[in-house]
Each structure stands twice: as C-alpha cells, then as structure tokens.
Amino acid sequence: MKKINEIFYSLQGEGFHVGTPAVFVRFAGCNLKCDFCDTQHEQGRMMSDEEILEEVEKYPCRMVILTGGEPGLWVDNNLVAVLHAAGKYVCIETNGTRVLPEAIDWVTCSPKQGTQLCVQKVDEIKVVYQGQEVEPYLQIPASVYFLQPCSCMNTSEVVDYIKAHPVWRLSLQVHKLIAIP
C-alpha cells in the first residue's frame, strides 16, 4: 500500500518533457522541509498498486509521472513493473535522497542544498535557483541540466546566470504561467 495525495491528468509543466500529456501520481509526504515548496502533499489515502493502475488507466496517455512530496519514500519495483506491464513510460521527480527502482524510464532529480544524494541513475537535474552555488550539481552525470526560477519570482536572475553558464538550460513552470492544473 502506498499513500497517494492525488492522481490527475495534465501536461508536464517543467523540465525536459514540458508540454507532454501525463498522468501525475502524487505521493504523500516528504523527508525534506523546503521553505519554497509549493505543493500541499501531506494528506492522502492508502492505495494498492492495482488501485493506482486502475486510476492511471482512466487517461489516454502513456507517460506516468511519479511525484510528491517525495515519491522515493513509496515507489518500489512492483509498482514500476505494474505500470510497465500496462505499457506506461514511467518518470519520477525526486529530491534524490532515496534509492529508486532501476527500471524507472526517466529520473528527474531536483537536489536540495546540503542533502546526500542516493540515486544511482539521473536523466535530468532540475535545480530551483535561489542564488545558491549550483556548479557542484554538474558533477552528477545527467543528460540535461536545468535551472528553474523559484515560483517564477527570480526569472531574470536565472536567465542571466544561464547566459553566463551556458551548460544550464532554463526550465519554467509553464503550468503556473498558463494556469493549467
């Protein structure tokens, strides 16, 4: 059983897969308490992997994004296998502090300053930028590195940083900019 905050269908609003239709499975709870967190994720109901799949299959897309809170507290090999058996492309958005099942198709790691990373495979690094040192995150092997303004508040600062450090790419929270859930 896994504690699920909500399951909904929308477009991915940030990062590499921006604009892609996806079913979001938001897990409840997080092991970190970030002051900029914009997600209410503590509440939830316990669901089996089969109940999660039943909800996911109500929507016509292939991409499933496991998010939170911190999905690494709940996601296991069985859930990933159940989703794969249904033909789903499984993505996860994690803070990287928990070991994840190896079979996840796409790992977005949003590391937080001062935390120890435990993830073995990362496809995308996405750092919420608040003026902190971000160059150490380039030591984490990934396909792409994104800086994201904090709740769209410091966009010009992020743009200037990326222009001076072009290994980074800009990730905007498009879902907030155009008001989609």
Active site residue 30: yes
At 30 the pLDDT is 80
At 78 the pLDDT is 98
Active site residue 37: yes
At 76 the pLDDT is 98
Sign of the four-CA dihedral 81, 86, 91, 93: negative
Q: Are 4 and 53 in contact (CB under 8 A)?
A: no
Active site residue 8: no
pLDDT (tens digit per residue) in 157-176? 999 999 999 999 999 987 67
User: Which one from 38, 54, 76, 160 is the annotated catalytic residue?
Assistant: 38
> Predicted confidence band at 3 (pLDDT cuts at 50, 70, 90)?
very high
Q: Which of the residue ranges 3-17, 25-39, 75-89 would you say has the lowest mean pLDDT?
A: 25-39
For 2-126, CATH number?
Answer: 3.20.20.70
The domain ranges of the chain are 2-126
pLDDT (tens digit per residue) in 136-149? 999 999 999 999 99
Active site residue 175: yes
> What are residue 176's phi and psi, to 5 degrees?
-75, -40
Active site residue 34: yes
pLDDT (tens digit per residue) in 29-53? 886 666 666 566 668 999 999 999 9
Active site residue 84: no
